A and B are shown apart, each in its own frame.
Chain A
Amino acid sequence: DQQVKQNSPSLSVQEGRISILNCDYTNSMFDYFLWYKKYPAEGPTFLISISSIKDKNEDGRFTVFLNKSAKHLSLHIVPSQPGDSAVYFCAARGSNTNAGKSTFGDGTTLTVKP
C-alpha cells in the first residue's frame, strides 16, 4: 500500500504561469513533509518542507500548502521558469523518524515551456 502518492506523473506549464504539484498521504503519523527536486543524471536536492503545525510555508517562488484533514499537500511554483523543469518528489515522515527513512512518492515530472 503506497502511503505517499503523487497521482500526476507529469505536468506541463507555460513559462510565467503557476505550477501546482500535488501529493496525498494516508499515514496519519506523518507530520513532516518535504519536496525534493531532481534534474536528470543528478541526485535529488531539498527544496522546501512543512511541519504539520503549519498549513503554509513559503520560500521565494515556492510555496507548500498542507491540508491535514484531507491528508493532502501541494507545491506551488509562481512564476514557473524553464529551469524549474525537473522531477519533483514529495516525501513524508513522522517527527521522530530520521529523514533518510522518509516515504517518497513516485515523482512528478514538471516541464516548463518557454
Chain B
Amino acid sequence: DVKVTQSSRYLVKRTGEKVFLECVQDMDHENMFWYRQDPGLGLRLIYFSYDVKMKEKGDIPEGYSVSREKKERFSLILESASTNQTSMYLCASTSGGSGNTIYFGEGSWLTVV
C-alpha cells in the first residue's frame, strides 16, 4: 500500500514563527502536493511538485513556500506564520500522468496563536 506520512500531526506555533511541515511518500511517486482544508472551503491546493527541485504554485500559494530536495520528500514552509494559516494541511502524492488517484497523508493540524 502507498503510504504518505506527515511527521507532525498537531502543532501550535506563535505568530511570526517559521513553520516546517514535512511529508514523505514511499511509492516513488513523481508528483507531490500540499493542500489546506478549511470548513466550508474544501481542499485547496497550495503548491505542487512534478519532480525533484521543481515546484509550481497552486490556487493559494501566498504565505507559503515549498522544498523538494529528494523525490520522496516534500516540505511546506510558512516563513512567518499568521493566525489565518490555522488550518489542517494535507500532503498527497500521485504517480505520473493522468487517470490516477490521489494518496493523502493523515493531515497536520496547525494552530497559530
* Interfacial residues, chain A to chain B (CB-CB below 8 A): 4, 6, 9, 32, 34, 36, 41-46, 49, 89, 93-102, 104-107
Contact check, A96 vs B98: say whether CB atoms are below 8 A apart.
yes
Chain A residue contacts of B101, Cβ below 8 A: 34, 46, 49, 99
Size category of the binding interface on chain B: 20 to 34
Chain A residue contacts of B4, Cβ below 8 A: 43
Contact check, B98 vs A44: say whether CB atoms are below 8 A apart.
no
Closest chain B residue to A97, Cβ basis: B98
Please provide the chain B residues from 80 to 104 with a CB less than 8 Å away from any CB of chain A in the complex. 90, 92-94, 96-102, 104
Q: A95-B99, A98-B94 are in contact. List 18 more A-B contacts (CB 8 A).
A: A4-B42, A41-B9, A42-B107, A43-B92, A43-B105, A44-B43, A44-B102, A49-B101, A93-B98, A98-B50, A98-B96, A99-B99, A99-B101, A100-B48, A100-B93, A101-B33, A102-B102, A106-B41
